[in-house]
Chain A
Amino acid sequence: MPITPAVTDLEALKDHPAVAKLRGWNSAAVEGAKFDRDEMTIYIERSSIRDACVILRDDPACPFNYLSDVTCVDWYPSQPRFEVVYQLLSIPKKERVRLKVRLDGESPAVESVTSVWPGANYFEREVFDLFGIRFAGHPYLRRIQMPEDWEGHPLRKDYPVEGYR
Chain B
Amino acid sequence: MTSTPVLEPGQDRTMILNMGPHHPSTHGVLRLILEIDGETVVRMMPDIGYLHTGIEKTCEAKFYQQVVPLTDRIDYLCPMTNNLCYVLAVEKLLGLEIPPKAQWLRVMMNELTRINSHLVWLGTHAMDIGALTVFLYCFREREDVLRLFEAISGQRMMTSYFRIGGVALEPPLGFFDRVRDFANRFPSKVDEYENLLTGNPIWTMRTKGVARITAEDAIALGASGPTLRGSGVDFDLRRDMPYSGYENFKFKVPVSQEGDVFARYICRVQELRESIAIVQQALDGMPEGPIKADAPKVVLPDREKMKTQMEALIYHFKIITEGFAVPAGEVYQAVESPRGEMGYYVVSDGTAKPYRVHMRAACLANLQLLPKMCEGRLLADVVAAIGSIDIVLGEIDR
Binding site for B on A (CB under 8 A): 1-3, 6, 36-37, 39, 41, 65-69, 71, 73-74, 85, 87, 91, 94, 96, 98, 117-123, 126, 130, 143-147, 154-155, 159, 161
Task: Check A73–B368 contact: CB distance below 8 A.
Answer: no
Task: Check B95–A3 contact: CB distance below 8 A.
Answer: yes
Given known A68-B343, A87-B360, A117-B220, contact A161–B329 (CB-CB < 8 A) = no
Task: Check A87–B368 contact: CB distance below 8 A.
Answer: no
Task: Check B345–A71 contact: CB distance below 8 A.
Answer: yes
Given known A2-B95, A36-B330, A69-B332, contact A91–B356 (CB-CB < 8 A) = no
Residues 267 to 316 of chain B near chain A (Cβ within 8 Å): none
Distance in angstroms from A104 CB to nearest chain B CB is 19
B235 at the interface (CB under 8 A from A): yes
Distance in angstroms from A123 CB to nearest chain B CB is 8
Which of B24-32, B55-63, B181-189 sits within the interface?
B55-63
Q: What is the interface residue range for chain B against chain A?
A: 35 or more
A122 to B223, alpha carbons, bound, how many Å?
A: 12
Task: Check A69–B220 contact: CB distance below 8 A.
Answer: no
Binary interface profile of B, 62-87, with partner A (CB < 8 Å = 1, else 0)? 00000000000000000000000000
B97 at the interface (CB under 8 A from A): yes
Selected contact of A87 from candidates B58, B95, B220, B343, CB within 8 Å: B343
Distance in angstroms from A48 CB to nearest chain B CB is 21
Chain B residues lying within 8 Å of A159, measured Cβ to Cβ, are 57
Binary interface profile of B, 341-385, with partner A (CB < 8 Å = 1, else 0)? 101010100000001101010001101100000000000000000
Which of B46-54, B126-134, B154-162, B167-175 sits within the interface?
B46-54
Task: Check A118–B345 contact: CB distance below 8 A.
Answer: no
A52 to B327, alpha carbons, bound, how many Å?
A: 30
Task: Check A68–B341 contact: CB distance below 8 A.
Answer: yes
Distance in angstroms from B394 CB to nearest chain A CB is 13
Extra pairs beyond A71-B358, A161-B60 (10, CB < 8 Å): A3-B95, A36-B330, A68-B343, A73-B356, A74-B356, A118-B220, A119-B221, A119-B223, A147-B49, A155-B56
